[in-house]
Amino acid sequence: MTQRTLIKDLASLPDGPVRVSGWVETVRDQKRVQFVILRDESGSAQLVNPVNDETAATAATISGLMHGSFVSVEGDLKADERVKLGGLEVKVRELTVESVAKDSPIADDSSIDKRLDWRFLDLRRPEAQLIFRVQTTIEHAMRQHWIDEGFIELHTPKLMATASESRAELFEVPYFDTTAYLAQSPQLFKQMAQSAGFGKIFEIGPAFRADPSFTSRHATEFTSVDSEISWIDSHEDVMQLHETLLTKALAAVVERHGAEIQQHFGIELQVPTTPFPRIPHAEVKAIVEARGHRIERQDGDLDPEAERQISQHVKEELGHDFVFVTEYPSSVRPFYHLRPEGRPEVTNSYDLIYNGVEISTGAQREHRVDVLEAQIAEKGMDAAELEEYLDFFRYGVPPHGGFGMGLARVVMLMLGLHSIRESTYLFRGPTRLTP
């Protein structure tokens, strides 16, 4: 049997025998000739079957094919510039139906919830598959940088005895004769790696938030991109790492998928320049209010409209899609964010906003155990529940910092998608646990 060829590789082959396999997109059943558009994981091609006495059995099979049926075809490849789809076609010699499809329960105009119900069918769309090819390229580019720079990849546990950051938004899980919690982030464990002397680490893994939000950017389970580095002078070192990773990721996406992104999403993706703009939180508030939006949150944290406004300001004034909002108030930051000397009201931290939406939080961590204990008490938390975490700092730890970033948000914003539901393979939200 001829070895299967991916459709994307047909153009590089000479005319002659080939074998292709995939699912049927369309059938044009004419009196003297049949055309089938076949799609596999790499692209689409046209099959042609002249109808005559010799091909009658194959013609009958093709006439009965439903959209979505999987078939394998032995045939003869022929280049023909008149064929709109790729300038080539495959003349069918033998067609085998691997599995027969029923009528699809979804259509192009189906709602997002309907499409999520039938996600395995929804993902057959070429633009849907492109989303996850882009995601793969992003992860590979970042991982390549980390490895080239001597980082260690970790896989931290997702079952925890105590909260990773706070008791808010925690999923409780029965665990033998006690209760465990699903990790909100690898925060504690990536800091432990600094105490262990690893120096530079990264992880791409699941995180869980029991957040009842139904917005376009929230999920109860998501993929978190995390990195932590030792021997930093401030959060500036973390921001430099962060922007380098994203610039390399975007460069790889543009090189590998730029034309397809333009075709399917109408976006001419650009590689951002560095450094990304940096604006202190207090200045951001003033800019946003000058643009006519007043932040109503009592804690002073930015709301979604403020994020959109500062992003639009940066785009208009500096032509940049990214902006670091720095020096967040200590009142809205976790206990482990370092507060600069003489300025206890702010932190050495940032949020990174991309195309109007926050995608990441980063900071220099507080590494002095006595300061940590004081800040835990100030936040009204129980230090006894964090004893194991505090032990990391009782035996020496270098100044360090890092960030956590939502992968699906990055992909969503990069491709101009309407919802994180589109950029997540199988979305999990307050009312969705299937498929």
Give the neighbor-by-neighbor strand order of the sheet with 159-160: 159-160, 178-182, 172-175
Instruction: State the virtual CA torsion across 67, 69, 74, 80 in degrees, nearest 10.
Output: 20
Q: Please check if 408 is assigned to a binding site.
A: yes
* Residue matched to tokens 């921001």: 239
CB 346 within 8 A of CB 323: no
CA-atom Rg of the chain in angstroms: 27
The one-letter code for the residue type at 22 is G
Q: Please check if 167 is assigned to a binding site.
A: no
Closest CA to 154 of 107, 194, 201, 211: 201
322-326 vs 400-406, strand pairing mode: unpaired
SS3 215: coil
Sign of CA dihedral 213, 216, 221, 224: negative
Q: Please check if 278 is assigned to a binding site.
A: no
Q: Please check if 165 is assigned to a binding site.
A: yes
Q: Please check if 4 is assigned to a binding site.
A: no
The DSSP 8-state label assigned to residue 432 in this structure reads: B
DSSP string computed for 302-314: PPHHHHHHHHHHH
CB 229 within 8 A of CB 199: yes
CB 235 within 8 A of CB 401: yes
Distance CA 49, CA 192 (A): 64
How far are the Cα atoms of 52, 196, 301 from residue 396, in angstroms, in the given order? Answer: 83, 9, 33
The one-letter code for the residue type at 278 is R
The burial class, CB within 10 Å (0-12 / 13-18 / 19+), for 314 is buried
Alpha helices in 359-403 (DSSP H): 369-378, 387-391
Q: Please check if 409 is assigned to a binding site.
A: yes
Q: Please check if 228 is assigned to a binding site.
A: no
Give the residue numbers of the binding site: 165, 209, 358, 361, 365, 406-409
Q: Residue positions in the annotated binding site for ATP? A: 358, 406-409
Binding site for L-aspartate, residues?
165, 209, 361, 365
